[in-house]
Amino acid sequence: MVDSGSTGELHEDFDRENLQLNKDLESMTEQMENISVNLTWMAYDMVALRTDPQTKKSLKRLEDEYLLCKAVICGSAKMKNLDAHSTLVHQTPTQE
């Protein structure tokens, strides 16, 4: 026969394992939710960029401006290229 002491220990072990399983399941569910959100945004971006080619150009210009500001603020070692980059970024885009 199993004594009541070992039954209590088995019950505690089961409870600990069950709690850990719940934590693991919750963590995996949260990770999958994050992946789903990222995938949705990627699909949206892809559709938006393919639908309007001007959007791609605007995003590229925005990225270039961001990098330019970051270089100025952070005092990047590439400051000598800053004027050349600035000239390229500020040119008016040609109509296609």
Q: Are 71 and 78 in contact (CB under 8 A)?
A: yes
Burial class (CB in 10 A: 0-12, 13-18, 19+), 11: exposed
- The terminus-to-terminus CA distance of the chain in angstroms comes to 87
Least confident among 51-55, 73-77, 85-89: 85-89
Longest CA–CA span in the chain (Å) reads 89
pTM beyond 0.85: the answer is no
| CA–CA separation, 68 and 74 (whole Å) | 10
Q: Calculate the CA 57 to chain-centre distance.
A: 22
What is the structure's pLDDT at 13? 87
pLDDT tens figures, 14-72: 889 999 999 999 999 999 999 999 998 888 888 877 777 787 788 889 889 988 888 88
